[in-house]
Amino acid sequence: MNTRIPLPFRSFALAALALSAFPATAQRLPQTVRPEHYALTLAPDLKAATFTGKESIDVTVTEPVNAITLNAAEVAFQSVTVTAGGNTQTASVSLDADKEQATFTFAQQIPAGKATLHIDYTGILNNELRGFYLSRTARRNYAVTQFEPTDARRAFPSFDEPAFKATYDVTLIVDAGDTAISNMPIEKDTPGPGEGKHTLQFGTTPKMSTYLVAFLVGDFQCSSGEQDKVAIRVCATPDKVQLTPYGVTVAKYVLHYYNDYFGIPYPLPKLDLIALPDFEAGAMENFGAITYRETALLIDEKTASVGSREGVASVIAHEMAHQWFGDLVTMQWWDNIWLNEGFATWMSNKPVAAMHPEWNIDQSVIAGLDGTLNLDAQATTRSIRAKADTPAEINEMFDGIAYGKASDVLLTVENYLGKETFRKGVHAYLAAHLYANATAEDFWNAQTATSHKPVDKIMESLVVQPGEPLLTFGEPAGGKVFVEQRRFFLDPGVKSDTNETWTVPVCFAAGQKGADCELLTPGDASLNVPASPLFFANAGGKGYYRSKYPADVYAALVRGVETSLTPFERIRLIGDEWAQVRANTADVGQYLDLVAAVKADPSDEVIDNALSGVNATYTRVASTPEEKDALGAWIRATFGPEYARLGPPSDNDSANTRELRASLFGVLGFEGKDPQIIAQAREIAQKYLADPSSVEPSLGRTATFLAARNGDAALFDQLEKVYETSTNPEFQENALRLLTQFQDPALLERALDMAVSGKVRNQDAAIQFAIALQGEETRDATWKYIQEHWDKVQAQLTTAMGGMLVGSTSGFCSEPARDDVQSFFSTHKVPASDRALKQALERINSCVELQNRQGPKLSQWLAAQPKSQVSARMDSYP
């Protein structure tokens, strides 16, 4: 599953458990009965929002039992029988709503061996975006599914745990004018039962977990293709089918790439990718029937920005990687969800980078790694493998650790072993567990056996322990360098209760040789280093650690940052320095000096990474209007000439140049508040809204963002109309998100009213509040609105969106606001958001500390800048 729901602009991006035995209260099913095969027949009524189900489950009973317990929620049982040993008997049914379990008790003992359960039941097509639920357009209803992690039980009573793999026969009775999609192709289509209905019978699935089953009912239309003898379709509602061809092109490329990389062909005869109007996550990897939020799949290549095309390609590649990591081979339990999500995140970058080398995906990966290190340096982080027993705890596992840290750890190990050796280890792991389940140990033992290197020691230290190492280096001398490791925290006041140490590969820049990698173990106090004109201790930028250098070594790195380091290494140096600022072991002025040293860097990823710290300095460190004005002037003086140097957009611009121009335009207009840029933004926005093909898309989106921040009621009305009338999901979503950027209090209130009015889908409503909570000018009014209209806001929250809303209160930066947030959510509980609240409160505390410690240093640095640097305004831009 892809839970990354991208927000349109970097300025508003959203950003400690230990493994233990399962406690007595764990909601786990007994192991005495195991499913082998399900036969499901479902008949949804899309108007009444209900369905009927008939189900048989072939099971193996390992010892005689009088009762069978499985999972069920929001279903009503009509009859339950079991047939075993030639005897059929009727069950009495008892329900445990809290555990979402049903127990079938029988008068006579069921003997060990084969048995078949027969269940008739009814259910609801809910509005919660989970289980079997309704998805709506203005024209009609659709019945669709989302089962991960624990919601198959809302569609059919089941052994709803990942280790209970079985095969499935799915039959759907639907309206005559509708079709249906499931994991396998349709094998039989017969009229009835009854007038106006037809029955669709699908092929038998491979052995798989319950959460990967899917069935979707409606009038979907598709674009088709074929790759490696697999039929590929990208499907959508009829009004959006014209936006599906790009997905077919990407899916064909990715499928062939994965077949080649894994050495294990995709095993199903077809692969469908389906865009749904209502969908909580980004996408879901149902075996052979991947479902997507519309903006994660549908795109108009003529008007889409580079970032949008890259985003769609990445989500497609992520979900298709799951067909191997997660579907063919599934984690044993949810504590190892990283075996699914971390692998898919790591793997998805490879085909996209190969398909579009001009997108510099490898640099994006390193920038993402830097962001993950910031997340993992919070006191409230968790280990990659962590306790998860209840549905709420399991839902909280789908976070930046499962996706980002796990992916980055795999990147670190792959870099250490070499790509081909690591690939062979991946193949060995998959081949050993096809159609079965696996643990973390299964993976790292396979890599250890393949590489003959201590991958088990490396991965165990990074997977089982929370946090990350800070490696403090001495002066290199005589071919060696002193190194000390300790756990790193962004908050200087936080100390670890335990003495974490890691086994981690450390790669040193080695001039023409590239890199030399040494293995740092807990007992090492020094490492061998190659002779090199410049000492840099994270060659290639792929090491999962922070680095700190002596003052003269760091000064040499700054001097050589543009001539002696690669873009990957520049990203890591910038990230490490900003982390040191937050930890109060470096001054914010030092960071801004480093930013000035890379101002002319040709890479958008390098500049964007540097600007993230500039934005944080502007919004989280500068505390007075005077400081913001002075910092804005420095930004104009530093980046204005670089923006001017790029010149006006051209059809010959590379993807990187287009993104770089948009990044510089954005910082000059947002933090720099340059009046000429803001005026240009208004002009460009009007052209973009009138005809998206008339403006370079990346610049058009950024200009529209700046125009909205400085916009009036006329522009608000214009964007609202785009949201309400556009059939392009990208334009529609962008317009909606921009409504919360308006600074006029009356317009902001209109946007928030709209979010709870029913006009905005509940997949999007919480995101509107999340964006506004992150804005310095909008968060106070938004928080007041949430408190005063909590019943309406809460009614819009789905499971994942509730956690997002709670986490977005991290935008505050004062002790009174922190206390208010804590007090409010102590009496207004949001499911599956405990960790999100803890992290939000920690980030608020961290911001208060950052401002207190670095604010005076920023004032001193600004005062020391040349007068022209703090009063600059560019006279002419292209």
- Determine the Cα–Cα distance for residues 876 and 674; give it in Å rounded to an integer: 11
pLDDT above 90 coverage of the chain, percent: 92
**Is the pLDDT score of 119 beyond 60?**
yes
15: pLDDT strictly greater than 60: no
809-840 pLDDT, tens digit per residue, is 999 999 999 999 999 999 999 998 898 999 99
pTM of the predicted model as reported, rounded to 2 decimal places: 0.95
Strand, coil or helix: what is 542? coil
Comparing CA positions, the residue from 709, 682, 679 lying closest to residue 695 is 682
Contact between 809 and 847 (Cβ < 8 Å): no
* Short-list 581, 485, 595, CA closest to 537: 485
Q: Collect all residues with Cβ–Cβ distance below 8 Å to 731 and sequence separation of at least 6.
A: 303, 692, 722
Q: How far apart are CA 808 and CA 814, in angstroms?
A: 15
Contact 767, 737 (CB under 8 A): yes
Q: What are phi and psi of 84, to 5 degrees?
A: -150, 135
How far is the C-alpha of 794 from the C-alpha of 802, rounded, in Å? 8
| pLDDT value of position 867 | 76
Residue 132: the pLDDT is: 98
First to last CA, the chain: 43
Give the integer Cα–Cα distance in Å for 503 and 544.
11
* Rounded Cα gap, residues 806 and 771, in angstroms: 12
Note the pLDDT of residue 321: 98
Q: What is the Cα–Cα distance from 844 to 517, expressed in whole angstroms?
A: 38
For range 87-109, the mean pLDDT? 97
Q: Which residues contact 435 (CB under 8 A, 6 or more apart)?
A: 165, 206, 207, 208, 328
Closest CA to 355 of 453, 452, 250: 250
Both structure tokens of 779? 């968060």
Which residue's entry shows tokens 């294990």?
Answer: 264
Q: Give pLDDT tens digits for 209-230.
A: 999 999 999 999 999 999 999 9
- Give tens-digit pLDDT for 516-542: 999 999 999 999 999 888 999 999 999
Cis amide leading into 816 (omega within 30) = no
Read off the pLDDT of residues 570-580 as tens digits, 9 standing for 90 and up. Answer: 999 999 999 99
Residue range 82-101: average pLDDT?
96
Which stretch of 14-28, 105-119, 162-176, 726-740 has the lowest confidence by average pLDDT? 14-28
Q: Say what the pLDDT of residue 11 is.
A: 34
Residues 6+ away with beta carbon under 8 Å from 382 = 16, 17, 399, 401, 466, 835
Beta-bridge mates of residue 612 = none
Distance, CA of 223 to chain centre: 27
Report pLDDT for 532. Answer: 87
To the nearest 5 percent, what fractions of the chain are helix, strand and coil? Answer: 45, 20, 35
CA angle 345, 241, 140 (to 5 degrees): 105
Active site residue 319: yes
The partner residues of 77 in beta bridges, in order of sequence, read 121
Q: Which residues contact 68 (CB under 8 A, 6 or more apart)?
A: 33, 59, 82, 91, 103, 104, 106, 110, 117
Q: Mind listing the pLDDT tens digit for each residue in 431-481?
A: 999 999 999 999 999 999 999 999 999 999 999 999 999 999 999 999 999
Q: Are strands 113-124 and 50-61 parallel, antiparallel or unpaired?
A: antiparallel
Find all residues with CB under 8 Å of 619, minimum gap 6, and list them: 11, 776
Amino acid at residue number 43 = A
The CA-atom distances, in angstroms, between 732 and each of 273, 277, 525, 711 are: 21, 12, 56, 18
* 15 vs 547: CA distance, rounded Å: 23
Q: In residues, how long is the chain?
A: 878
* Rounded distance between C-alpha atoms, residue 598 and residue 593, angstroms: 9
> Is the pLDDT assigned to residue 19 strictly greater than 50?
no
Residue whose structure tokens are 């149902």 = 286
pLDDT of residue 343: 97
Per the residue annotation, which of 319, 518, 720, 733 is the catalytic one? Answer: 319
pLDDT of residue 667: 98
DSSP class of residue 600 equals T
pLDDT of 624: 95
pLDDT the model gives residue 767:
95
What letter represents residue 156's amino acid?
Answer: F
What is the enclosing helix (H) or strand (E) of 239?
none
Confidence class for position 27, pLDDT limits 50, 70, 90: confident
